[in-house]
Homo-oligomer: A and B are copies of this chain.
Amino acid sequence: MTLQEQSQSMLPALEAELKRQVARFDHPESAGFHEMLSFHMGWSDEASGNPAKRVRPLLMLLVVAACPGQWLRAIPAAAAIELVHNFSLVHDDIQDNSTTRRGRVTAWKKYGVPMAVNMGDALFAISNQAVLDVSAHFPPEVVLAAAASLHAACIALTRGQYLDMSYERRTDLRVDDYWPMVEGKTAALLAASTEMGAILGGAMGDRVRYFAGFGHNVGLAFQVQDDILGIWGDEQATGKSTASDLIEGKNSLPVLHGLAHSPEFAERWAGPAIAPEETPHLAQLLKDEGAFAYCVREAERLTGLAMESLRAADPQGEAGEALRELADTLLQRQS
């Protein structure tokens, strides 16, 4: 089975489980709340826009299958990962003042900040219960190990979020400040996805660590790629407006590199918000000082580490093939 064929059996099962988990709020008194959460998850009729890709749970289920283990039994834990991701998106959109996501209006914009804070909390609360639902098929100590992996990622997530927000006011940022932020914001939950997959797939000893390292490095490489696209990307290919990260003032890897190597860029970055018409010049400035080449090198280095970890984890069978295919897809988005 190819990646596509395996996704086609895994994703509907995942979606059904996500709906079952969120239905914990589907009672007469809180039906309105259930509707709000369903809108965010992309299930309500009025929810147009792009469907979510469910990358993290898909990675997890493929790792379970590649151990080899039975992915269907791990479905509640995969739902837990996706619920955590969605809790963080709902709160992220409040924190970043974002009005659209996946082509839809964001939760806080539609329902107000107080309600959206509670929507994120509810998704977080459900995720905790969801991961324990694997108890039906796994011994308690395995369930505890999977839950601990998820909880550690949530702690890292809030730490990364703090760093990201604290950087907004800083003028002395260095490239070294980038890594702890993206480890928390992006890599931690991907590492938990593959680690939980390994735990629930029955992997032992170092293999768990290798699978976790695979997710971790996929996360970092993916983020660096995303940062490259955020400044030099092709709008039609990515759906992001070119150089949007410059306009949004995002402390991405090219920007932190530019602050250290281009006094002209650093001076402009310290000034008022950047206008769209300035971005071609600034993107060129960053390319000239070497930020583009540096970021491409870093993305390649991290992709190499991810693939090395995956080889060491020794994934089995068709799921193993599919994992390599998924990693290739995630890490070569510019092609």
Q: Which residues of A contact B (CB under 8 A)?
A: 24-25, 29-30, 32-33, 87, 91, 94-96, 113-115, 117-118, 120-122, 124-126, 128-129, 132, 135, 139-141, 143-144, 147-148, 151-152, 154-155, 157-159, 161-163, 165-166, 177, 180
Question: Does A94 lie within 8 Å of B122, measured CB to CB?
Answer: no
Q: How far is the CB of A37 from chain B (nearest CB, A)?
A: 10
Q: How far is the CA of A126 from the CA of B162 in the complex (A)?
A: 15
Question: Does A118 lie within 8 Å of B91, measured CB to CB?
Answer: yes
Complex contacts, A139 vs chain B, CB 8 Å: 140
Given contacts A148-B129, A148-B132, A151-B132, contact A95 B118 (CB under 8 A): yes
Q: How far is the CB of A143 from chain B (nearest CB, A)?
A: 6
Question: Does B155 lie within 8 Å of A126, measured CB to CB?
Answer: yes
Q: How far is the CB of A256 from chain B (nearest CB, A)?
A: 14
Q: How far is the CA of A117 from the CA of B93 in the complex (A)?
A: 11
Question: Which residue of the partner chain, among B114, B115, B162, contacts A122 with CB atoms under 8 Å?
Answer: B162
Question: Does A159 lie within 8 Å of B121, measured CB to CB?
Answer: no
Question: Does A117 lie within 8 Å of B141, measured CB to CB?
Answer: no
Complex contacts, A155 vs chain B, CB 8 Å: 24-25, 122, 125-126, 129
Chain multiplicity (copies): 2
In the A-B complex, the 6 residue pairs with the smallest Cβ-Cβ separation, listed nearest first, are A140-B140, A95-B114, A122-B158, A125-B154, A33-B162, A128-B151
Question: Does B91 lie within 8 Å of A117, measured CB to CB?
Answer: yes
Question: Does A161 lie within 8 Å of B94, measured CB to CB?
Answer: no
Complex contacts, A126 vs chain B, CB 8 Å: 155
Q: How far is the CB of A23 from chain B (nearest CB, A)?
A: 12
Question: Does B125 lie within 8 Å of A163, measured CB to CB?
Answer: no
Complex contacts, A157 vs chain B, CB 8 Å: 121, 125
Q: How far is the CA of A151 from the CA of B126 in the complex (A)?
A: 8
Question: Does A152 lie within 8 Å of B165, measured CB to CB?
Answer: no
Q: How far is the CA of A151 from the CA of B139 in the complex (A)?
A: 19
Q: How far is the CA of A318 from the CA of B162 in the complex (A)?
A: 45
Q: How far is the CB of A251 from chain B (nearest CB, A)?
A: 14
Complex contacts, A95 vs chain B, CB 8 Å: 114, 117-118
Chain B residue, CB-CB nearest to A160: B30
In the complex, given contacts A122-B155, A128-B154, what are 4 additional A-B residue pairs having Cβ atoms less than 8 angstroms apart?
A94-B114, A95-B114, A95-B118, A135-B144
Question: Which residue of the partner chain, among B24, B94, B128, B147, contacts A117 with CB atoms under 8 Å?
Answer: B94
Question: Does B125 lie within 8 Å of A161, measured CB to CB?
Answer: no
Question: Which residue of the partner chain, among B30, B135, B151, contacts A163 with CB atoms under 8 Å?
Answer: B30
Complex contacts, A121 vs chain B, CB 8 Å: 87, 91, 120, 124, 154, 157-158, 161
21 contacts between A and B (CB under 8 A): A24-B155, A25-B155, A25-B159, A29-B180, A30-B162, A30-B163, A87-B121, A91-B118, A95-B117, A95-B118, A117-B117, A120-B121, A121-B157, A121-B161, A122-B155, A122-B158, A124-B154, A125-B151, A126-B155, A132-B151, A140-B140
Complex contacts, A96 vs chain B, CB 8 Å: 114
Q: How far is the CB of A311 from chain B (nearest CB, A)?
A: 32
Q: Choose among A91, A94, A128, A141 the residue with the greatest number of B CB atoms under 10 Å from its CB.
A: A128
Q: How far is the CB of A106 from chain B (nearest CB, A)?
A: 14
Complex contacts, A29 vs chain B, CB 8 Å: 163, 177, 180
